Every structure is written in C-alpha cells, then in structure tokens.
Structure 1
Amino acid sequence: MVGFSLAVSPLFSQSKVEIKETSPSHFELMVDGQPFFGKGVGGYNNLPMLKEMGGNCFRTWGVESLEKRIDGKPLLDYAHDLGLKVVVGIWLGHERHGFDYTDQSQLRKQRKDVEDAVRRYKDHPAVLMWGLGNEMEGPISDGSEIRIWKELNHLAKLVKDEDPDHPVMTVIAGIGGEKVKNIIKYYPEIDVLGVNAYASAPGVGSGLVDQGWKKPFMLTEFGPSGHWEVGHTSWGAPIEPTSREKAASYFATQKRVIEDGQGMCLGTFAFLWSHKQETTSTWYGMFLPTGEKLGTVDAMSYAWNGEFPDNRSPKLISLSSPADQKRIKRGTTQKAKVDVEDADGDNLDIEWVVTAENTDRKTGGDAEAVPPSFPELIARNGGESVEFRAPSRSGAYRLFVYIRDGEGGAATANFPFYVE
C-alpha cells in the first residue's frame, strides 16, 4: 500500500455511516441518517451502467484501486459524482502468499499500512465502510487460524480509533468449519461480516443464525455456481452454466438471501462487474472482455428496481453438439448449434471459438494465464450452427459461442471436449 496521492476535495463533506439495531438481531445501515441497503457489485468498471441499472454501491479489494482515475477523476470522486458508495477494501496478507501472522515485523508494517489508508481516505463522502481483508484465512480454510482473527481484531480497533464514522467489515470465504465460531470469540470488534458464497449463498443468513451470529452481514460475492461446485467430465473439466442459467442464479440468489437474511442482511455484491480469466474467460464476469453486458446484468437490474434495461441481452436457449463433454478423434469434423432469441429483434452476430482447456488453475481468484485459442479450427460459421475440426494434438479443449446484438448486449456458453 504505497504511493497514495489522493487528497479529498474540499467541496466534499464526510458522510456518517452507522448501523442501527431496529429490533433484536434486526439491523439497518444508515447513511447520514437515511436507510441504505446495499445494491452492489464487486469491481469498479462500467459504473455509469451500475447506476443506470439501479445499483448504489460497489466494493474494491485493495486501496491502490482508489488511485485509478476515470475521466480524469480519482475513483472515489467519480463514484461520488454518480451517487455511488464504496466499500473500500484494504488488502491484508494471505499466508498462502507468504504472509506470516506470527512475524511481528510483517504485522507492524501491515498495521501501519492500514492506518495510513484509513487516515487518507476516511473523510471522503463516497466511503460506505471499510472492507478489512478478503478471504485472508484462505479459500479452503476451516477457520481454525486463531492468530488471524486476533490480528484482525487488533486492526479493527486501529481503524475505529482513526475513523469512528464508518463500520468495519471483514470478508470470509463461506461460513463452513470454525470460522464463525472463532470470529465471534476472537474478533469482537467486527461490525459486519462479509461472506463470499456461490451455490450456498441463499442459505448464508440462516446458516449464520444457526452458528450463533448476532450481528449484521453482507453477501460480498455471489453469482453462478463456482467451478468447484458443478459437475465435471471424466477428465476433470468443470461444466460451466450458460449465461442464461447464470442470470437465473443471480436473480434467485438476490431474492432469497434477503428473505433468508432475517433482518441481518445489509446488502449484496454481485460478482464480477467486469470480466476475468478464472477457470474460463466467462465463468464469473458479468461482461464479455469486449465490453458487452451479459444477461446477468439484466437480471440484477430487475432484482434491484423491478425493470429490465431498455436493451435486453440475447437469450441463449441451448447449445448442443455430439462433441459436448465427449472424447473425440483428432482431426475429425464436428458440429454444434445454438438456439438463441432476442427480445428486441436485434440482428445477432455469432462467433465460435475453440480454446485449450485452462491448465493454469489457481485458488481464491489468483491471476491465471489465458489459454490459447485456435481460430483456424472453425471450418464453417453458419451463424447458429458451426462446423469445427478437432485439434490434431490430444488433450482437453472447449468450444465457446459468443452472441452479440450490436447494441451492447451479449450471451455466451461453452462445452468441454477431449481429443484422443
């Protein structure tokens, strides 16, 4: 956390954010005395569209993001001009990345970094709360690392001493194992528990209650079923939902987590309001790398304000092929077809791409290399149908289809296959 340069504009005045307990274990987030329920996303791209779709906040992972300038403005200024609030993420060390929570010199440096970040940004009116760490216990941890929770409690005290006007939230990967119990015992300074969850997201609220949690929570990442939660082929390739299936999942999760939250949920953050390579190039992104929005954005618009956007993304009904999840012979010609509709009657451009299966699998969202693609293997693009050649080299591959409506909307799907 170095190189801070943002100075808060004197034209802005700080917002006061507090949590009000309206009845036992029922909470409301208050911003300058007004109720605020987080209709949020993870990421800071496409922020005007976030506002247009009915969102009101977003979260970042590290304070270096606040140095990003959009249209010549620092990120917090830009967000404030749009009327958006920010959960400012303060990245904390992960032991799987080499950080040692028993090393006093590392702890002292991290404490100073945290204090410096809070001191620099606390007076900006776009700040909603502090996101103190993200999955620093590890994505597959059972939460038994008491040293981490004790240090987080120390850090939260430092944050509150520096800034009593914004709550402190820490984000964990799911609520399994000993996490909740140990946070209750060793991290009493926490104000809001942030939970990243995917297939299990609708049950987070009741799960927390069952484990004795009595403070508010936020669902800080949700989206499609995770790549570890779906079916796999015989060679281990995860089967990705289509963009239409993902849209249904986003909408259902948003609705159910609020109902299940039993008055404890202060907001949700759909993941990811951008694109990224994680397992595939399309699994978690709500936009294509070329910028078009997917049906997941439309679904969140409807969940947030009861209306779809003026231009709906195409609806991919099905993708089918004899090669889908099959082992095929090298060099053979294969066929696939897609069934797609567009509510606006737009002319659709359909692109087919063969790629290698990702061999750079990481955990916890760490950066992955993009696998190579092979455009020369598309023998005939017939729009809704395609003929493609199986690669000449044995191994695992995928066929992707991208449907674009020319108006900023898109749909996508893929299937794995194996060349013998």
Structure 2
Amino acid sequence: MTPLKRHLFHVMLSASLLCQPALAATPPAVAIRQDDKGNFTLLRDGEPYLIHGAGGSSHLKDLVKYGGNSIRTWGIDSLDEKIDGKPLLDYCQELGITVTAGIWIGHQRHGFDYSDETQLKKQRDMVREAVRKYRGHPALLMWGLGNEMEGPESDGKDTRIWKELNVLAAIVKEEDPGHPVMTVIAGAAESKVKGILGNYPNIDVLGVNAYAGASGAIRAVKQAGWKKPFVLTEFGPQGHWEVSKTSWNAPIEPTSRNKAASYYATLSLLAENTDICLGSYVFLWGQKQEVTSTWYGMFLSSGEKLPTVDAVCRAWTGKWPDNRAPRITTFETPLKEATVAPGQTVTVTAAAEDPESDTMTWEWSVCEESIDRRSGGDAEAAPPAVSGSIVSQENGAATIKTPVKPGNYRLFVIVRDGKGGASADNTPFRVAR
C-alpha cells in the first residue's frame, strides 16, 4: 500500500468510526447488593438504581419528562428498532434511559416443544448470539429471559420449562457476567414460584406480570418462599379476565379515573416494600388493541396521554405534571351494558373536569365488539367503527342511532384538552331484534 493510499485508508477509517454509535468504553457495571438485613439494592455504576420503568418503546421523551428511567422490551429484535433514525438502545442511551432487554423464549401455545432437542439447541444458539451482540451497550440494565413462557393460564408445574431456562440463564451468565438475568412469569401463583425455586437456581431476579393482583404480588411470592430480588414487570388496570361481564359475556372496562387510581395505588405500595423489590414497569407506555383500543394503553393512538400517565408521574416524582389530562367524571347513557333494538335513537351525556381549565373537545364513536381475542397479549385486529351511528354531537352530549345489524358493540367517548391530554371511557351494549 502506497503512503497516499495508506493515508486515505486511515482517513476513511476514522470517518467511519465517527459514524458509529457513541458507546461508553466500559459499560456501567450493574450488580445486585444485599445488606446485612437481607435487603436488596440494584446498583448501576455503584449507585443505587430504583427502576421507574415502562413497557414499550414509544413516547420515550415523555417517559423521561414524567420521571421514568427505564423501559422493558419483549423480543431481541426490538433493540434494532429505529427511532428518529437511531437504534432503540442508542436512542435510550441519549435520553438516559436504561433497557431491560427481553429475549423471547418459546411458548408451547405457539408450537414450541420443550422435549425437542433441535428446537432447544436453536433457541440456545439464539440466546448466545443475542447476548454477544448487545452485552456491551451502556444502556443495557439486565436481561429479560422469557415472558410468560409457562403460559398465562398454566399452573407452572411443567418443570421442563424451568430447567431449560436454567440452561439458558447459564449461557447468558457465561457470555455476560456483568448484567443480571431476570425471568418474567404470569401472576404470582405459588406453584410457579416453587417450580422456579426447585429447578432454576441461575435466575437473579423474578419478574411478575400482574393486574388486579399487582399490589399483592410481593406478598404472594414471599409466601411461596421467594427470597431473591423481585420486579413487578407488567401491571396496569384490572385485566379483562378479572372484571365483571355483561349477560352476553362482554368484559366491562374500568373507567379512566379508576385506572389512574389503580396505577398510583400499586406504585405507592411497592414503595413500601423495598426489601426485595428493585422497581417496576408500568404497562403499556403506548397504545394497543387488546379487547378494546383503550384498555391497556396509557396513550391514545392519536398521541394524547391519559390520566394513568399523570398518576405514575405523581408516584415517581411526588409531583403532578405541569398540565394534567382532563378527567371524565360522569358517563350517562341508556346503552350502558344494555340490550337495545336496532335503529333506536338515544341521547348520551358525559361530563369532565380539567385541572387547568383548558378548553375541552369531545369525540363519540360506536365500534363493533372485538371478536379477535388472543391469549397472553398476542396481537389483535381492531374492530371496525360503525358509520352513521353518531347522529349529532355537541360537547359532552350526543345523539346515537343504534346499529341496524344485531350484534355486540361499544360506545366510546373521548375528551381532549388540546394540550396533549385526554380521557377515554366506553360501555358495551347489545343490539337484538
């Protein structure tokens, strides 16, 4: 290589290195410390780190704004998701957000066979490759090895799953001893905890997804014999399987006010149980269709935050945000959990309060009830809206014409403050001849 070519090569090499993500030379050390009283603390770069986290990868600037410091993902592919042209991990690093990196582990309901050596080897190789690829990133907090892979409705007594997770955790620790390994289960059933205790010693942190039982999850795992660190990895309002239902079996969604109260109460109780609790991840920091378009998301699809965001901000920071979302206080309709005739005209009303007295706008809609129900949070198709169902609307009142087609429906009301905040409630109803 001539001197000129050598010079050009070094210039090009230097330029290419400048274009690489700005990673720390040595990633922050993450460890778990136990004091002489048995209390656990998560340490990042030697400093205590309490997880104020959220599940999801949208609205991340808002997460920081409202007091959050970490996100949780479910599959390793999401780490390469681009936000503003940057991979998720790099984007989080710039915002000062850590990531519990989920590694999706096979579910039997999706066809994974824990007795199939070929499938097991392929999964082990995938885990090793994933850890090697991302272990040096400074935004990485811990590994989330699996999510509800035992099945949300199982008793957790299939020991093959826990034993295989123990093998996989050993691979993670071999490749990356610098980050804890957490596995997430659905609920805090004693049989699941005991299955892990008896077959999965390599686990560092137990993650639990819980909804109506979220506030009691720590007590439940302790009663089952759990003595290692714990994270509430997914929680929110009452789940659709935990609420009252109509006579035709439609789940009744909690109101936006009740959801906000539920988030705040759970976080407040966790703050009183810091002996094994390293923090939590609220669900969902974003929007999704699961039973309805509003049940679990903390934002609308149009981007507005809901009162649940304000509630977790208060719990995380001790203060309300500068501008709070409006709150629906009443929602009156003869359609509420009722069976009505097709083509019937009814009047519906709602009232709301806005803490800053912002001008509010209202939106009413009727949608078909979802029939694409999945298990364990799997993706669902959104049901269609019913055209022509809103005869007129003005502020908190509307005239509704019930659909002519017999079936199950929901009436939705959304109020917005024009400042990025909203509330949304709905009620199921049925049309029958």
Q: TM-score under structure 1 normalisation? A: 0.97
- Report how many residues are paired: 414
Distance in structure 2 (CA, Å) of the matches to 1:48 and 1:70: 11
Contact preservation (8 Å) 2:53, 2:282: yes
1:158/1:7 Cα in 2 relative to 1: closer, same or farther (>3 Å)?
Answer: farther
Q: Does the residue aligned with 1:92 lie in a helix, a strand or coil?
A: coil
Q: Please tell me whether residue 350 in structure 1 is matched to residue 350 in structure 2.
A: no
1:7/1:192 Cα in 2 relative to 1: closer, same or farther (>3 Å)?
Answer: farther
Answer with 339-348 or 218-227: which moved more. Answer: 339-348
Distance in structure 2 (CA, Å) of the matches to 1:112 and 1:9: 28
Q: Please tell me whether residue 269 in structure 1 is matched to residue 271 in structure 2.
A: no
Instruction: Give deviations 1:6-59, integer Å, cap 9, x for gaps.
Output: 976455531110000013441000001000000000001011110010111010
**TM alignment of 1:361-400, pairs within 5 A:** 361-400=373-412
2:12 maps to which residue?
none
Contact preservation (8 Å) 1:323, 1:335: no
CA displacement at 1:258 relative to structure 2 = 3.1
2:104 maps to which residue?
91
1:413 maps to which residue?
425
- Which blocks of at least 5 consecutive residues in structure 2 are unaligned? 1-18
Aligned-CA RMSD value: 1.2
Q: Write out the 4+ residue segments of structure 1 that deviate beyond 2 Å after TM superposition.
A: 6-13
Q: Does the residue aligned with 1:106 lie in a helix, a strand or coil?
A: helix
CA displacement at 1:94 relative to structure 2 = 0.4
CA displacement at 1:347 relative to structure 2 = 1.1
Distance in structure 1 (CA, Å) of the matches to 2:211 and 2:36: 29
1:313 corresponds to which of 291, 311, 325: 325
Answer with 353-362 or 24-33: which moved more. Answer: 24-33
CA displacement at 1:321 relative to structure 2 = 0.8
Structure showing greater Rg: 2
1:249 maps to which residue?
262
Contact preservation (8 Å) 1:353, 1:373: yes
Contact preservation (8 Å) 2:208, 2:233: yes
CA displacement at 1:335 relative to structure 2 = 1.7
2:141 corresponds to which of 115, 123, 128: 128
Contact preservation (8 Å) 2:190, 2:224: no
1:284 corresponds to which of 296, 315, 328: 296
Distance in structure 1 (CA, Å) of the matches to 2:20 and 2:198: 38
Q: Please tell me whether residue 173 in structure 1 is matched to residue 186 in structure 2.
A: yes
Instruction: Give deviations 1:147-198, integer Å, cap 9, x for gaps.
Output: 0000000000000000000000000000115100010010010000000000
Q: TM-score under structure 2 normalisation? A: 0.94
2:169 corresponds to which of 120, 143, 156: 156
Instruction: Give deviations 1:252-285, integer Å, cap 9, x for gaps.
Output: 01111332x3511001100000000001000000
1:213 maps to which residue?
226
Distance in structure 2 (CA, Å) of the matches to 1:311 and 1:12: 40
AA aligned opposite 2:107: H
Contact preservation (8 Å) 2:23, 2:137: no
- Which blocks of at least 5 consecutive residues in structure 1 are unaligned? 1-5
Distance in structure 2 (CA, Å) of the matches to 1:291 and 1:270: 18
Distance in structure 1 (CA, Å) of the matches to 2:333 and 2:102: 43
Contact preservation (8 Å) 1:8, 1:124: no
